[in-house]
Amino acid sequence: QVQLVESGGGLVQAGGSLRLACAASGRTFSSKQMGWFRQAPGKEREFVAAISWSGGNIYYADSVKARFTISRDNAKNTVFLQMNNLKPEDTAVYYCAASPVVGSTTIYPNWGQGTQVTVSS
């Protein structure tokens, strides 16, 4: 089992930036890829970005390309999501998740508790 703890959420004005962090512990060797997802009120959870622990594979949803950047610090078992030029539609609970599969946007058996991001207009 992989334990995941997100941090860095908060309230920001449109056009602002936030940096989310996800610290992984436990059986981290079992995960090959880390992903960020989000769920807005009344909507289904959606994929945002993912990165393999090797760093060689990075994926983004079209809605966040050129605004969000995913990165990782293998020494600290931590993955980051730098979010720039935030829009009100980015408001959601953001979740970190771990996958045993590189390239997947759906196979994520381990999840964090989520962190709220609110973007005011």
pLDDT of residue 29: 75
pLDDT of residue 28: 79
**Confidence at residue 1, expressed as pLDDT on a 0 to 100 scale:** 86
Q: pLDDT at position 30, please?
A: 78
Q: Which residue numbers in the chain have pLDDT < 70? A: none
Q: Are strands 115-120 and 10-13 parallel, antiparallel or unpaired?
A: parallel
Give just the sign of the alpha carbon dihedral 71, 51, 96, 39.
Answer: positive
Contact assessment for residue 37 and residue 44, using Cβ atoms and an 8 Å cutoff: no
Q: What is the pLDDT of residue 26?
A: 87
* Count of Cβ atoms closer than 10 Å to residue 26 Cβ: 14
